[in-house]
Amino acid sequence: MSDAGFTEADRAFMTRAIELAQQGERRPGGSPIGCVIVLDGEIVGEGFNETALRCDPTAHGEVVAMRKAGARLGRMELRGATLYSTLEPCGMCCMASIWAKIGRIVYGAERRQVHPMYFEDRNLGIEDYLRDAHRSDLIWQGGLLSGRCAALYAGPEEDVPPAEQVNR
């Protein structure tokens, strides 16, 4: 997959999200989904998936990063910000992005590149959530550093034992 249409800054911010995903995988209770939120060229929030770590099903990397950005900026609206995620955001994270007024979502690995266990909503993708968001200012782009991002996860045909599958 080509990284055409992305800037060097996009690549740098996604590289940081990949680093966070790797940190998440190494941390007990963490998992390899990294996210960075950028506003005016500056990282204002970042995180990795902490659902098991915090015993909180909403602590996805994107939501963790949004919480940190909101706390840092002192507001819930992140209008004009770009969210970089190593994996195509799930429905919950798409809706949180809408509520936070994120302006742009950039993700690495697409759902077709990873095992289906990573998504609860088997038939809905990011476009299904965002297309009807009643926001004409929200854009999304997938596939940035997709090979590096997809390598963080089990592949779509990988034989993952049921006991090791997340979201099952």
- The catalytic residue positions are 62
DSSP collapsed to 3 states, 95-116: HHHHHHCCCEEEEEECHHHCCH
Checking 73-77 for CB contacts under 8 A at 24+ apart, the result is 73/39, 73/44, 76/100, 77/101
Residue pair 62/99 in contact by the 8 Å Cβ criterion: no
Instruction: Give the full edge-to-edge strand order of the sheet including 139-142.
Output: 42-49, 31-39, 82-87, 104-109, 139-142
> Position 40: which residue type?
D
